[in-house]
């Protein structure tokens, strides 16, 4: 039974104090591991990704944030957003669908996909709602980015009078030179770039000729350019009513390059030009080197023949023809091809790719989950190592429906005969050579790792999040690992992941359910005032609701203003 069944257990998560159970904890390891996740109380829905957002935070120094001197604080909390509060008051009017939870209030903002760290501020993001800011210390909701009226709200499927459906990305970026957030807002496929200074109004520009056929999950940046690709999350309207998909995700994707200075020289609302490339196979996560002196270099983690918009449910058969286990209902479709990573250098003058390296290890690398990068400005300017987690081949995570839908796109001769172990892998940037890897157990489910620099803020480092030798090799990779026998956190030397963990944290048989992205924060401090938008300022259309629901929305606004905890 390789995939832990505890992944989709709907027990309420709890706080724990973890202890070192193997190895020696590195004394220099500092800061906080932050994880985004859907709350397990909504795992009964059609897709595991759409529960209310919650946060886990692990303090990487013993005896801090409420833990005893020899323990590490593992803390968790549901994000008490307006969406979560309205659902708690009126669960009867929320319906889980394949694109999130809908209600007469509008589309629930789950904010459950990725933490975005901006200095000492912490935002929780997802693709179908505004980034939500939370307090890094008590993990309470503080406000969403921008007033709802500044975004293009998608109301074609249902009215969104209180909770707006905003097509954006779970991976905005923070510009270290401008100290602004760059993100996107797609509307009927038209790409808009959004710039936000952290306090005031949004600025938004439509990008001329930039049409997104599917969705946007990532925006990445260089010093001068923003890069936005179409991502392989395909939505077909009949799936909302429980229907099956009729087409696989697109096998190629447009990628648009937009100059930052052209945006800033154009009045918001006026169109801005782009350069258009096409990449294949399909993509979700990609990362540009911030330094673009020698060209625009982008690492693409392809998601070839994966389908995160398809989930398994009752009556499905897995890739071996066995009935799918109800305990895995809602699990997304794992890749049906070996993991592939490419590095492309793009020339915006000719719109041609001038250099390309590729990594493909069919014997080793299957079902890539997420990655650990040095996100400091210095690390993004000159990245050295790219750490990735691969779940291994899981025949029970691929359904016959997926295989039939993707047909000849899947080379079935490559599918391993047996499950393969998960792998923590390190790739050298430059030639994408796999330089090191560590195999975990067949019953492990490693999740989203982080990179922690050895000496953040050291005198030679530059910025406060950079170590003295930035890039991703000088420090540690911290990896949460789910397992039915007990959750653990493994720490690796980033320069030698293949040597295995140098230390392990655990707390007996405690388990942790499914989580999504992680991030490293150099410290958790209470949030400062920042002139955030109040939910109470977004109720101009409350009269569209029946009286009882309007009353609930007003109560939520009052409770947020008064700091009343979510029940
Ligand atoms: Fe992501």
Distance 374 CA to ligand 1 centre (A): 16
- Scanning the structure block, which residue is given the tokens 């996107």? 184
Distance 542 CA to ligand 1 centre (A): 33
H-type alpha helices, 11-126: 82-89
Supply the pLDDT for residue 419. 95
Supply the pLDDT for residue 240. 79
pLDDT at residue 119 tops 90: yes
pLDDT at residue 382 tops 80: yes
Distance 549 CA to ligand 1 centre (A): 33
Distance 50 CA to ligand 1 centre (A): 14
Asked if residue 531 lies in contact with residue 199, where contact means CB atoms within 8 angstroms, the answer is yes
Distances (CA, A) of 321 to 240, 324, 326, 327, 403: 26, 9, 15, 17, 11
Banded pLDDT at 266 (limits 50, 70, 90): very high
Percent pLDDT > 70 in the chain is 100
Mean pLDDT for the stretch of residues 511-535: 96
User: Across all residues in the chain, what is the average pLDDT?
Assistant: 95
Distance 210 CA to ligand 1 centre (A): 21
Supply the pLDDT for residue 108. 96
Nearest to 10 by CA among 311, 308, 327: 327
Return the H-helix or E-strand segment holding 386: strand 385-390
Distance 517 CA to ligand 1 centre (A): 7
Mean pLDDT for the stretch of residues 194-219: 96
Distance 516 CA to ligand 1 centre (A): 8
Least confident of 53-62, 243-252, 484-493, 534-543: 243-252
Distance 262 CA to ligand 1 centre (A): 27
Distances (CA, A) of 276 to 211, 287, 395, 406: 10, 17, 37, 27
pLDDT at residue 461 tops 80: no
Work out the number of other CB atoms within 10 angstroms of the CB of residue 63: 14
Distance 118 CA to ligand 1 centre (A): 17
Distance 22 CA to ligand 1 centre (A): 31
Mean pLDDT for the stretch of residues 389-409: 97
Distance 284 CA to ligand 1 centre (A): 7
Supply the pLDDT for residue 557. 98
Distance 286 CA to ligand 1 centre (A): 10
Q: Is the pTM of this model over 0.95?
A: yes
Asked if residue 247 lies in contact with residue 234, where contact means CB atoms within 8 angstroms, the answer is yes
Asked if residue 423 lies in contact with residue 344, where contact means CB atoms within 8 angstroms, the answer is no
pLDDT tens for each residue of 543-561: 999 999 999 999 999 999 9
Distance 52 CA to ligand 1 centre (A): 17
pLDDT at residue 2 tops 90: no
Mean pLDDT for the stretch of residues 23-52: 91
Distance 272 CA to ligand 1 centre (A): 26
Distance 308 CA to ligand 1 centre (A): 11
Supply the pLDDT for residue 443. 96
Distance 285 CA to ligand 1 centre (A): 6
Distance 127 CA to ligand 1 centre (A): 9
Distance 301 CA to ligand 1 centre (A): 11
Supply the pLDDT for residue 1. 59
pLDDT tens for each residue of 410-436: 999 999 999 999 999 999 998 999 999
Mean pLDDT for the stretch of residues 96-106: 91
């Amino acid at each position: 039974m390789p995939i832990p069944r505890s992944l989709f257990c709907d027990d309420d998560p709890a706080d724990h104090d973890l202890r070192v159970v193997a190895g020696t904890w590195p004394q220099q390891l500092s800061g906080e591991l932050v994880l985004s996740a859907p709350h397990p109380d909504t795992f009964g829905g059609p897709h595991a990704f759409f529960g209310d957002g919650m946060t886990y935070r692990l303090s990487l120094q013993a005896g801090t944030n409420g833990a005893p001197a020899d323990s590490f604080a593992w803390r968790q909390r549901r994000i008490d957003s307006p969406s979560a509060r309205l659902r708690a008051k009126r669960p009867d009017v929320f319906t889980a669908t394949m694109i999130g939870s809908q209600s007469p209030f509008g589309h629930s903002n789950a904010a459950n996909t990725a933490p975005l760290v901006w200095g000492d501020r912490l935002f929780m993001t997802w693709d179908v709602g505004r980034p939500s800011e939370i307090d890094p210390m008590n993990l309470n909701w503080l406000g969403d980015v921008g007033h709802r009226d500044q975004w293009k709200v998608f109301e074609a499927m249902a009215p969104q009078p209180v909770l707006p459906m905003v097509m954006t990305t779970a991976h905005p970026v923070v510009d270290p030179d401008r100290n602004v957030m760059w993100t996107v807002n797609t509307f009927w496929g038209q790409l808009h770039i959004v710039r936000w200074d952290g306090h005031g109004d949004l600025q938004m520009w439509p990008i001329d000729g930039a049409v997104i056929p599917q969705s946007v999950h990532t925006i990445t940046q260089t010093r001068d350019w923003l890069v936005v690709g179409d991502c392989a999350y395909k939505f077909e309207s009949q799936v909302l009513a429980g229907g099956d998909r009729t087409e696989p995700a697109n096998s190629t994707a447009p990628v648009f390059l937009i100059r930052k200075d052209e945006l800033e020289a154009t009045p918001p609302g006026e169109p801005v030009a782009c350069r258009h490339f096409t990449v294949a196979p399909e993509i979700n996560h990609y990362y540009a080197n911030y330094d673009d002196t020698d060209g625009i270099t982008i690492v693409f983690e392809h998601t070839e023949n994966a389908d995160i918009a398809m989930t398994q449910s009752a009556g499905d058969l897995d890739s071996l023809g066995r009935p799918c286990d109800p305990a895995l209902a809602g699990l997304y479709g794992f890749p049906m091809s070996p993991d592939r990573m490419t590095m492309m250098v793009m020339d915006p003058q000719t719109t041609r790719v001038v250099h390309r390296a590729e990594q493909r290890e069919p014997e080793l690398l299957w079902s890539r989950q997420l990655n650990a990068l040095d996100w400091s400005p210095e690390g993004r300017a000159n990245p050295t190592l790219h750490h990735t987690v691969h779940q291994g081949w899981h025949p029970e995570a691929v359904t016959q429906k997926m295989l039939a839908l993707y047909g000849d796109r899947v080379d079935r001769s490559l599918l391993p005969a047996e499950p393969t172990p998960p792998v923590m892998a390190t790739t050298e940037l430059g030639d994408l050579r796999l330089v090191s890897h560590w195999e975990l157990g067949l019953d492990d489910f490693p999740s989203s790792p982080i990179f922690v620099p050895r000496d953040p803020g050291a005198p030679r480092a530059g910025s406060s999040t950079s170590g003295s030798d930035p890039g991703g090799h000088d420090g540690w990779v911290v990896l949460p690992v789910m397992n039915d026998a007990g959750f653990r956190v493994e720490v690796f030397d980033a320069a030698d992941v293949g040597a295995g963990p140098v230390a392990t944290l655990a707390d007996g048989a405690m388990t942790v359910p499914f989580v999504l992205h992680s991030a490293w924060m150099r410290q958790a401090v209470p949030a400062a005032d920042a002139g955030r938008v109040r939910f109470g300022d977004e109720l101009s259309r409350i009269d569209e609701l029946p009286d009882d629901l309007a009353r609930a929305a007003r109560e939520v606004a009052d409770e947020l203003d008064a700091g009343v905890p979510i029940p």
